[in-house]
Amino acid sequence: MSRDTTRKGFLQRARRANFQSNGPDKPKVRRERGDLQLTDVVGHLTVTRTGQVTAWYLLAPQRWSFRTHADGNSLIAQHAQRLAQLVGRRLHIRVTHRPYPVARWAAALHDSVVNPLPGWDRYLQEEQQRVARLPLADKCVYYGVQIGKISSGSVQKIAAKAVHRQLRQLQQDISAVDRIMSGPGLDARPAQATDMDWLMTRSIGLGLPAPLHSTPQPTDIWNESDLGEWTDGIQWAAPSPFADHILVSGNRSGRREQRYVSVLTLGRMDLPDIPESGMGPWLQRLDQLRFSYELSATIDVRDATEAGNEINKQLDRIRHQYSHHREHGVQPPLSLTRQSQIGQIVEDDISHGAAGLSTRTRGWFRIALSAPTLETLEERISKLKEKFQPSVLIAHPQGQYALAREFIPGEPLSSEAYARRMPVRTLGASLPSVTSDIGDRRGPNLGYTSGVSRRPVMWHPWNSMETRDSNGLSVVLGTQGSGKTALCGSICYHTSMMGVPWVVLDPSGPIGRLCEMEDLRPYSKAINLMHSEPGTLNPYRMIPDPDIARYTRDNPEYRGADNPEITAMRAYQTDLQRATRIRNTLAQDVLTMMLPREIATSRETHMVLTQAFGHVEGTIHNSPRDVIDGLRKVQQSSNYGEHAQYLIQLLENAAETPHGQLIFPAAEGGDDGYQTRHWRLVVFSLQGLALPAEQTPPEEWGVEERLSMPMMHLAAWYAQSRIYQRDIGERKGLWLDEAHDFQRVTSGRELLRKTGRDSRKHNTRALLSTQDGQDALTAGLENWVDSVFVGRTVGSDAQRAALKLLRIEEGSGYEEMLAGLSPEVHGNDKRNSERPREFVFSDGSGRVERITIPLRQRPALYRALNTRPRDEERSDMQANPWLSMTKGKGGQA
Amino acid sequence: MQMHSDDELYAVDSVFLGPPRFTLPFKARYQAYAVGITLTIALLILLKIINLMAFWPIAYGMVAVIWATRKITPHITHDSSLTTLVRTVWNDVRAPRSASQQQETVTEMTSTGIRRHTYL
């Protein structure tokens, strides 16, 4: 307390004396130096002691990721044009953050589940804690536009209603600004009471932790006496003169909190072309920081004449310096020549440039960082400087207390130092409202965005079918090791916990480990199709007949027709014939695949098989043995009897192999739905199947490899038919891993198309993971695709196909980005396997973002989905090299 | 889109090389002369007030003025003019001092360990 006698004490006493000398009759009110300039908040307007009225607006988030350059330029120009319309006004930009509403998200997720698994409550609690730990917050971007002045505080005190009367007079001006702010490029709406409350709370408690909840406001009017709501308990102090930080303390959630706060300011800028250089909006770059920040920018949008005169004055100074140097016979510095040229360009731009976009601005950009300790604060300041290097210099000026006060609405500019002058189009490229926005707020958490900013990604896989009437087909692309299995497995795990039944086709085997997870073990089953009953993969049983109960006059699809009953019956007949045709096509493809390539592709084989299939009805009760019977009939009646005999022999030989028995039943199979119906997660594995390597041409396939292709093909149909056994409106999931092999034949492409086409009707989320997006395009799936995940993709054709599925224009430089996803850490295998995987995610509603899937946060899931050989397996392989021949994907070494 | 800035145009170093036909042996900005002259006037007023208008006090005083000018002028940049510098100093002097100088810290033993309470 002895410090009271120092300069501070002196200033306080002097001020007190000043107020006391106002006269003996006046009440002796001591005005604290911390008093706000703000006196009233009326709706979205703030009024200061000097009578300055400012209207505050909240900007809508803007998307930036994966826009084309033309789109990006258009957005910048729109933003700049809106700002240019504010000529003659002062603009106060404030960016602050709201904590991510984790509790609200968890409640929405809980409400959206139907019949979850017994471990759901614990799972939800863990997820809530995990998401709450992530440094995630919603960005709130406020633009405060100076409207004009009303009479000073003394008049306000005489008549309290005077403020509102005068504000009504400003209404016309406010309406004009409202219109400008709601235009494209800003999409701003007037701030509501809760928005103003949040802005004031975060500005006065600068740097303090955000309150957990915003308080509902009974009214949108605050008078001077109400401002204590925000200021009570908050203390600001500078530790010493010329200190590089201030201390802010206040109460948060019942605890006293103190933060060190430093205000930095933008210095000289030399920005590259945006977006052509790959750099995003320059103020939005702050979102890449892993810690919270506050931004305050005071900007004057200048009148062309005023700005022009100032430029001329600067040019005069340059000319004078030029002649002064010449006068003394001294070589003028090169900078003078450069400045002279720039001055002429600017002068020309102002007088003859594009209307609006040549408007000049002068702005002061302050960034406040806070931390609980000085060491952390210094570290954050360094990271901020690094983030903007080398395009923008970040200065750390003195006068921190006054600089920090600029963040509070209504406070004046502390000093004119560090003014940045620029045309409005450069300011337009600041775009502070740009953020990453993808997914929804009611689904499980997949990860976070890792593009322009870090935001949580919540995605409810059934949202698109249930609310948007969209399809449920998701394509997951990426080269080997890009994390496709990890992503699909993660979706599968989270939604299985939600109670959604899943059927997974796993050609290579490792996904079965999901069924061993503690949470899922009692409710899941891994089935190896290779050891199933004979006839399990009978192609005629894969496609069920359409359910006649759906073809009624009450079905909304037929209700609008002239005669709904007849229309429904015609549709039933069409679908029945379609099912019959697909069964025969599937059987023909499968039997052809079982033949040696030279036989399968011959004209005689095609003719004989076509004739044989003419003898098969194509009902669900048929089997490939009926095709052999058909071949016998062809053998007796056709000119190709010898060839038919040869085919019979080949197919009968194939039917005797273990794989063939699964396709050729000894007798008509019954209903094996009992295998899958009561499990929530069923993984059909084809472990032991020797799939041919991709680069091996079909002519060189061995017998086992040749038989493996139809097996996998039929297994996919089988998996699909199992999921469709459930109620049509029930949420369901189907994941076909390694789906690239299906598009090689007609029935495979039909399977993929059917999966996409029926997903909406059956409320099914179908995940197709494949290495090349071309597979999905060739199969004609483009129109059925709802969402797309693209992991690391190399090869120009695959990249082009991926971009086409993402609906991103080619040639904007995103091809290289796809190749650079999930970059490998050289020389560190362990870190490589553990690194989070990156994907480009298109959520089906036109939004595309780069996202990161962190698996390490759920170790059990990570262990289940890590497809790299485990340590113990690797040591086994080193001891016995032959072991590696039977492990790994598709039995390949 | 090209991102121009007008900052370069405002970064003109206005130097005074000397009167016509006489070039000074050093280059100094106009701001340095302004600071130097202001400090000299302040020095002379001070010496007059304390009644020390003699050769040696003035000589030492001028040395001090040159030293102070050389210390102050680096802070005057294109981004921060002399007036803003004065304003910043004024702002810093007026700022309320640290709450930590008035705070009282109490260390309390509890069943769960040591807890520190800070009362402001």
Chain B positions touching A346 (Cβ under 8 A) are: 6, 9
Chain A positions touching B99 (Cβ under 8 A) are: 235, 237, 247, 249
**Is residue A55, in this structure, part of any structural domain at all?**
yes
Higher pLDDT, A709 or A280: A280
Q: What per-residue confidence (pLDDT) applies to A673?
A: 53
**Is residue A19, in this structure, part of any structural domain at all?**
no
The dihedral through the CA atoms of A620, A621, A622, A624 has a sign that is: positive
A759-785: average pLDDT: 86
CB of B71 less than 8 A from some CB of A: no
Distance CA(A689)–CA(A671), nearest Å, equals 25
Residues A36 and A169 placed together within one structural domain of the fold: yes
Residues A452 and A421 placed together within one structural domain of the fold: no
**Is residue B72, in this structure, part of any structural domain at all?**
yes
Domain final residue, candidates A342, A358, A374: A358
**Is residue A129, in this structure, part of any structural domain at all?**
no
Nearest residue in chain B measured CA to CA from A335 = B12
Higher pLDDT, A355 or A474: A474
How would you classify the pairing of strands B15-16 and B28-29?
A: antiparallel
Q: What per-residue confidence (pLDDT) applies to A161?
A: 67
Distance CA(A137)–CA(A132), nearest Å, equals 10
Nearest residue in chain B measured CA to CA from A10 = B94
Show the low-confidence residues of chain B (pLDDT under 50): 100-120
Q: What is the CATH number of the domain that holds A888?
A: 3.40.50.300
Residues A188 and A290 placed together within one structural domain of the fold: yes
Across A48-62, A97-111, A142-156, A515-529, least confident range:
A142-156
CB of A7 less than 8 A from some CB of B: yes
Q: What per-residue confidence (pLDDT) applies to A724?
A: 75
How many structural domains compose chain A? 4
Chain A positions touching B101 (Cβ under 8 A) are: 3
Cis before A272 (ω within 30): no
Q: What per-residue confidence (pLDDT) applies to A152?
A: 60
For the record, the structure tokens of A415 come out as 């000093």
CB of A892 less than 8 A from some CB of B: no
Residues A623 and A663 placed together within one structural domain of the fold: yes
CB of B10 less than 8 A from some CB of A: yes
Distance CA(A599)–CA(A632), nearest Å, equals 18
Across the interface, do A273 and B3 touch by the CB < 8 Å criterion?
A: yes
CB of A337 less than 8 A from some CB of B: no
Residues A746 and A758 placed together within one structural domain of the fold: yes
Q: How far does the CA of residue B25 sit from the closest CA of chain A (Å)?
A: 12
**Is residue A380, in this structure, part of any structural domain at all?**
yes
Asked whether residue A799 carries a pLDDT value surpassing 70, the answer given is yes
Residues A797 and A881 placed together within one structural domain of the fold: yes
Residue range(s) defining the domain that contains residue B94: 7-119
**Is residue A588, in this structure, part of any structural domain at all?**
yes
**Is residue A625, in this structure, part of any structural domain at all?**
yes
Chain A positions touching B102 (Cβ under 8 A) are: 1
Nearest residue in chain A measured CA to CA from B76 = A417
How many structural domains compose chain B? 1
Distance CA(A562)–CA(A555), nearest Å, equals 14
Q: What is the mean pLDDT of chain A?
A: 82
Distance CA(A473)–CA(A776), nearest Å, equals 11
Q: What per-residue confidence (pLDDT) applies to A551?
A: 84
Asked whether residue A309 carries a pLDDT value surpassing 60, the answer given is yes
Distance CA(A501)–CA(A481), nearest Å, equals 27
Residues A244 and A368 placed together within one structural domain of the fold: yes
The DSSP annotation for A769-796 comes to EES-HHHHHHTT-TTTEEEEEE----SH
For the record, the structure tokens of B16 come out as 């005074």
Across the interface, do B13 and A335 touch by the CB < 8 Å criterion?
A: yes
Residues A377 and A324 placed together within one structural domain of the fold: no
**Is residue A112, in this structure, part of any structural domain at all?**
no
Structural contact between residues B113 and A51, judged by C-beta atoms closer than 8 angstroms:
no
Q: What per-residue confidence (pLDDT) applies to A557?
A: 77
Residues A493 and A602 placed together within one structural domain of the fold: no
Across the interface, do A414 and B79 touch by the CB < 8 Å criterion?
A: no
Distance CA(A463)–CA(A481), nearest Å, equals 29
Chain B positions touching A1 (Cβ under 8 A) are: 102
**SS3 of residue A843 by DSSP:** coil
Q: How far does the CA of residue B109 sit from the closest CA of chain A (Å)?
A: 18
- The closest alpha carbon to A651, from A600, A577, A717, A581, belongs to A600
Q: What per-residue confidence (pLDDT) applies to B108?
A: 41
Domain final residue, candidates A640, A671, A702: A671
Nearest residue in chain B measured CA to CA from A426 = B3
Residues A517 and A542 placed together within one structural domain of the fold: no
**Is residue B2, in this structure, part of any structural domain at all?**
no
Across the interface, do A395 and B9 touch by the CB < 8 Å criterion?
A: no
Domain final residue, candidates A671, A692, A713: A671
Distance CA(A792)–CA(A807), nearest Å, equals 17
Q: How far does the CA of residue B54 sit from the closest CA of chain A (Å)?
A: 33
Across A249-253, A365-369, A722-726, least confident range:
A722-726
**SS3 of residue A258 by DSSP:** strand
The pLDDT tens digits for A850-883 are: 999 887 778 888 888 876 655 444 444 444 444 4
Residue range(s) defining the domain that contains residue A457: 440-533+673-893
The beta-carbon neighbor of A402 closest among B9, B79, B95 is B95
Residues A883 and A751 placed together within one structural domain of the fold: yes
For the record, the structure tokens of A379 come out as 């570290």
Q: How far does the CA of residue A102 sit from the closest CA of chain B (Å)?
A: 29
**Is residue A124, in this structure, part of any structural domain at all?**
no
CB of A271 less than 8 A from some CB of B: yes
The pLDDT tens digits for A688-706 are: 777 777 667 777 777 777 7
Q: What per-residue confidence (pLDDT) applies to A820?
A: 86
The beta-carbon neighbor of B98 closest among A237, A324, A397 is A237
Across the interface, do A425 and B1 touch by the CB < 8 Å criterion?
A: yes
Confidence of residue A262 (pLDDT cuts 50, 70, 90): very high
Residues A364 and A354 placed together within one structural domain of the fold: no
Confidence of residue A375 (pLDDT cuts 50, 70, 90): very high
